[in-house]
Structure 1
Amino acid sequence: MTQTVTALFDKRADAEAAIQSLVQAGIPRETIRLTAGREGTAHSGSAYDHHRDEGGFWASLKDLFLPEEDRYTYSEGLSRGGTMLSIQARDEQAGQIAGLLDSSGAVHLDEREAMWRKEGWSGYSAGSAAAGATSTARSGAPASDETIPVVEERLQVGKRVSEAGRVRVRSYVTETPVQESVTLHDERVQVERRPVDRAPTPSDERLFAEKTIEAVAHGEQAVVSKEARVTEEIGLRKTTDDRTETISDTVRRTEVEVEDERGQVSRTGTTNTSSDRGR
């Protein structure tokens, strides 16, 4: 929800400095409106007459939807050379904006109204802003061009992307003990002694020569090697699903009721209805 924050400054320079402070605080410039008064106007002490200025300050503040007494006071301030700021702000920003306006030198309206009354300003009364227009319409003269705006809120639903979950795949190395059995063969050399008793043969003629015989024993040893094989692949893939969500909220609309001297009543968005009063 939004609301309008307003402030009055004696000097336009102070109002422009306040705008800079608001923008630096993150308030969008397009939400800030400046209405300049009559600078250098010498005030005579009499109250500002909005009836003579329907095209001026009184009319320029019409679209702000201010209460009649506030609109009357701001019109008086503008006629005295003041400058008005109005800011369309979200509810949670209103307090921050009001503090920035106060620190920038905004006028305290209650104190200023009291000072104006001492100077002869009559101030706002229940009939100040509307009585003249009502009596004019009843006398048959052309009615004022002042209108009642019909305001209607419209629900706008948008979309934004938010994180709904996260999946992370991470690889790391582990070591697992394994065992394999293998059969190994070992050779041994044994010296055999056999007793004999025979006559020497021709091959034994060199019995008394030096001779050496040897045998080499062999043994098998386990040989280990490793081979890496890719056994599986893991990846990530995103799929999308569509869902319909129903948003429920309320919107406001201004209803205007018009009743004429015959008692006929009509409302915005409906056809005329008659109460038969005056018939």
Structure 2
Amino acid sequence: MTQTLTGLFDHYDDAKRAVERLEEAGVPHSDISVVASNADGAHGEGAATAAGEDATTGAGIGATVGGIGGLLAGLGLLVIPGVGPVVAAGWLGATIIGAIGGGAVGAAAGGLVGGLTHSGVPENDAHVYAEGVRRGGSLITARVDEALTSKAQDILKSGNSVDIAERAAAYRNSGWTRFDETAPAYTSTQVVDERNRFERA
């Protein structure tokens, strides 16, 4: 039996280390997904809406690249409504690309919220995760066997990960209620300001 686990990170480098630790712990990279903001252009410019046959088969972006970090070697650029430019890899990234490519991105789902809730993430949390990516974060979503659940949870809750309940409260205190796919994407400057806001907190 598998469980879907998530972790949100303000900085991509922290998410990257968490992915590497998950793989070292025995979670196959084909069961790990990364969706990370590219509002600051750190991963390159432009937006690709095709990810080769991986997207159409659901195998996942980068799923055929072997070894530790293989998943991250397959990052692909795309734009998610309401989130803006992101890099994505893995099964969730392929799901989002398939939805965008097929014109199936639904209202209020923006691809990301719908993909998360479909995989078992509670809807309220999915909205916070999507907003976190919109504001410059990096989201890891992993399908983990029961035997590795405890270790994987520890990995995703350490290494400068975001406390989702605290972040949700901070968003709501500023007037946010839920992820809105019609909201404007964050600019590079806004992303830097957002990261600095929580680092000072």
What TM-score comes out, normalization by structure 2 length? 0.51
1:17 match: 17
Residue 8 (structure 1) aligns with: 8
Match of 1:77 in 2: 132
Q: Is residue 7–residue 156 contact of structure 2 (8 Å, CA) maintained in 1?
A: yes
Report whether the alignment pairs 1:39 with 2:94: no
Distance 1:94 1:81 in 2: 27
55 and 101 in structure 1: CA distance in 2 versus 1, 3 angstrom threshold: closer
Map 1:148-227 → 2, pairs under 5 A? none
RMSD, aligned α-carbons: 3.0
Distance 1:39 1:12, change over 3 A: farther
Point out the structure with the larger strand share: 2
Deviations 1:10-51 (A, max 9, x none): 11121111111111222211111111235349xxxxxx9797
The C-alpha deviation readout for 1:124-158, integer Å capped at 9, x for no partner, is: 8xxx9xxxxxxxxxxxxxxxxxxxxxxxxxxxxxx
- Name the % identity: 32
Q: Distance in 2 between matches of 1:29 and 1:77?
A: 23
Q: Give, in angstroms, the shift of residue 108 of structure 1.
A: 0.4
Pick from 155, 165, 171 the counterpart of residue 110 of structure 1.
165
Match of 2:141 in 1: 86
Asked if the contact 2:117/2:123 (under 8 Å) is kept, the reply is no
**Structure that is richer in helix per residue:** 2
Q: Which has the higher contact order (CA 8 A, sep 6+)?
A: 2
2:152 paired residue number: 97
Residue 28 of structure 1 pairs with residue 83 of structure 2: no
SS of residue in 1 equivalent to 2:172 = helix
The 3-state SS of whatever aligns with 2:39 is coil
Matches within 5 A, 1:130-145: none
Change in Cα spacing, 1:81 to 1:30, as seen in structure 2 (3 Å) is: same
User: Which sits farther off after the overlay, 32-41 or 108-117?
Assistant: 32-41
Q: CA deviation at 1:116?
A: 1.2
Please tell me whether the aligned partners of residues 38 and 78 of structure 1 are also in contact (alpha carbons under 8 angstroms).
Answer: no
- By how many angstroms is 1:114 displaced? 1.4
Q: Secondary structure at the match of 1:65?
A: coil
Amino acid at match of 2:171: W
Distance 1:17 1:40 in 2: 20
Given that residues 12 and 83 in structure 1 are in contact (C-alpha distance below 8 angstroms), is that contact kept between their aligned partners in structure 2? Answer: yes
**Structure of greater Rg:** 1
User: Alpha-carbon deviations, 1:211-252, whole Å to 9, x = none?
Assistant: xxxxxxxxxxxxxxxxxxxxxxxxxxxxxxxxxxxxxxxxxx
- What is the TM-score when the length of structure 1 is the normalising length? 0.38
In 2, are the aligned partners of 1:18 and 1:101 still within 8 Å (CA)? yes
1:104 Cα deviation (Å)? 1.9
Distance in structure 1 (CA, Å) of the matches to 2:116 and 2:155? 22
Secondary structure in structure 2 of the residue aligned to 1:6: strand
**1: CA distance, partners of 2:136 / 2:35:** 11
The one-letter amino acid paired with 1:104 is: G
What residue ranges of structure 1 are gaps of 5+ in the alignment?
42-47, 129-279
In the other structure, the counterpart of 1:205 is none
